[in-house]
Amino acid sequence: MKQNPISFQLKLNPEDFLPASEEEKESLVIMRESVSFWKDGFRRLVKNKVAMVSVAVILIVMVFSFIVPSFYPYSYKEQIKGANNLKPMQYSEKELEAIEAGEKVFPHIFGTDKLGRDYAIRVMMGSRISLLVGLIATVIILVIGSAYGSIAAFFGGWVDLVMMRIVDIIYTIPDILLIVLLSFALKAPLAALTSLPGFGWIRTVGENLISIFIVFALLYWVGMARMVRSQVLMLKESEYVTAARALGVGNGKIIKKHLLTNCIGTLIVTTTLQIPSSIFTESFLSFLGLGVAVPLPSLGSLASEAINGLNTYPYLLFIPAALISLIILSFNLLGDGLRDAFDPKLKN
């Protein structure tokens, strides 16, 4: 049909309305799959060399402190007779005889301490304790802090006012003083508690360790609570919260499902950076003799015991000292890496 050049009729081409061919469909497929929050953050994290090295260091330390001790030939409280104060890789006379008789004796890689305990296994157990304290304390802080902060922010008004004033007061209380004081004061009540049935496990863990956890639960969550509160204050104005509320979702579920999941980036970063500071505090207390109970070693108490023999056996001090610095450094760097990856806004 001949077209009129000045007609206002739509110039429709019947071919345009044919079903698309497979080829055409293919060209419209999005080649790059959509990137989720986790994938995106993870990709950025993997690219960060410093963070990956820290992860490797932390994993190695964890393997040595949680897996290796279970098949290590020595135990952390076993006192080997005649093997007091051995230098690294040195054998006691008895062990030398055994070697000459054709037996295999596992070397004391870091030597032994003055009671004849293998130092390598003590260091491993010590870092296990330090890591455990750091992780458990951080979980406690995470739970209390995020619950407290999100409740304060979500309900707002006078609830927020009262709750945040309490945080302010706890925040200004000098923590170290109270930690020392609490671990001193809680010792006796906890010891009394161990004699009750069902609480015997406290003795194995050590009263001091429990009081450290109580102290963390009482004092250290305030930073986390402040962080979560400021995030939730922002998030609770979002449309999806209004939508959830309009659909009749309860307050608790909104906080759990919508608000806390959406500040997960901040939570991860703050949690990771909390771990080294918990380890720091534990080693500090153990060093002062207010930490773990006696046969159990911690990196802090190992260093503290080594001071008296500093002149002759300096390696007894340097090994735990270097290890604790390494652990704290790795967690710090990993936390920085996680912050860059998951929560770039926090970077200053």
Partner 1 sequence: MLKYIVKRIGLAVVTIWAVATITFFLMNMVPGGPFLSEKAISPQAQAALEAKYGLDKPLFQQYITYLTDALHGDFGDSLKQRGRTVMSIIQTKFPVSARVGGISVLVALCIGIPLGCIAAIRRGKFIDSFISVVATCGIAVPSFVICTVLMYFFGVKLRILPTLGLTSWKHYIMPVIALAFYPTAYIMRLTRSSMLDVLGQDYMRTAKAKGLSQVVSIFKHALRNAILPVITYVGPMLAYTLSGSFVVEKIFTIPGLGGEFIGSITSRDYTVIMGTTIFLATLIVVMNVIVDIIYKIVDPRIKLK
DSSP labels, 39-64: HHHHHHHHH-HHHHHHHHHHHHHHII
Query: Which residues are CB-contacts of 66 (< 8 A; sequence separation ≥ 6)?
Result: 128, 131
Instruction: Please report whether residue 176 would count as binding partner 1 according to CB under 8 A.
Output: yes
Instruction: Please report whether residue 304 would count as binding partner 1 according to CB under 8 A.
Output: yes
Residue of 219, 209, 141 whose CA lies nearest to 175 = 219
**Which listed residue (223, 300, 335, 337) binds partner 1 by CB under 8 A?**
300
Residue 302's Cβ-count burial label (10 Å; 0-12, 13-18, 19+) is buried
**Which listed residue (161, 162, 181, 234) binds partner 1 by CB under 8 A?**
181
Output the smallest distance, CB 95 to partner 1, in A: 29
For Cα atoms 28, 32, 33, give the angle at the middle one, nearest 5 degrees.
105
Output the smallest distance, CB 214 to partner 1, in A: 12
Q: Which is nearer to partner 1, 135 or 326 (CB)?
A: 326
Instruction: Please report whether residue 60 would count as binding partner 1 according to CB under 8 A.
Output: no
CA distances from 104 to 73, 77, 91, 120, 317 (A): 11, 21, 12, 18, 29
Instruction: Please report whether residue 167 would count as binding partner 1 according to CB under 8 A.
Output: no
Instruction: Please report whether residue 76 would count as binding partner 1 according to CB under 8 A.
Output: no
Which segment (1-9, 17-25, 66-74, 305-313) binds partner 1 by CB under 8 A? Answer: 305-313
Instruction: Please report whether residue 162 would count as binding partner 1 according to CB under 8 A.
Output: no
**Which listed residue (184, 234, 243, 253) binds partner 1 by CB under 8 A?**
184
DSSP labels, 254-308: IIIIIIIHHTHHHHHHHHHHHHHHHHHHHHHHHHTT-SS-TTS--HHHHHHHHGG
Q: Which is nearer to partner 1, 122 or 258 (CB)?
A: 122
Two structure tokens written together for 31? 């080649």
Calpha distance 49→97 (Å, rounded): 49
Hey, is 155 helix, strand or coil?
helix
Output the smallest distance, CB 162 to partner 1, in A: 13
Instruction: Please report whether residue 276 would count as binding partner 1 according to CB under 8 A.
Output: yes
- 41 forms beta bridges with none
**Which listed residue (173, 234, 243, 294) binds partner 1 by CB under 8 A?**
173
Q: Which is nearer to partner 1, 227 or 241 (CB)?
A: 227
Instruction: Please report whether residue 72 would count as binding partner 1 according to CB under 8 A.
Output: no
**Of 323-342, which residues contact partner 1 (CB under 8 A)?**
324-326, 328-329, 332-333
**Which listed residue (42, 66, 72, 318) binds partner 1 by CB under 8 A?**
318
Calpha distance 337→348 (Å, rounded): 13
Output the smallest distance, CB 338 to partner 1, in A: 15
Burial track 135-165 (b if 16+ CB lie within 10 A, e otherwise): bebbbbbbebbbbbbbbbbbeeeeebeebbe
Q: Which is nearer to partner 1, 67 or 307 (CB)?
A: 307
Instruction: Please report whether residue 287 would count as binding partner 1 according to CB under 8 A.
Output: yes
Q: Are residues 152 and 163 in contact, defined by beta-carbon separation less than 8 angstroms? A: yes
Interface size with partner 1, residues (CB under 8 A): 45
Output the smallest distance, CB 219 to partner 1, in A: 11
Output the smallest distance, CB 78 to partner 1, in A: 27
Residues that bind partner 1 (CB under 8 A): 165, 168-169, 172-178, 180-182, 184-185, 188-189, 192, 276, 280, 283-284, 287-290, 300, 303-304, 306-307, 310-311, 314, 317-318, 321, 324-326, 328-329, 332-333, 348
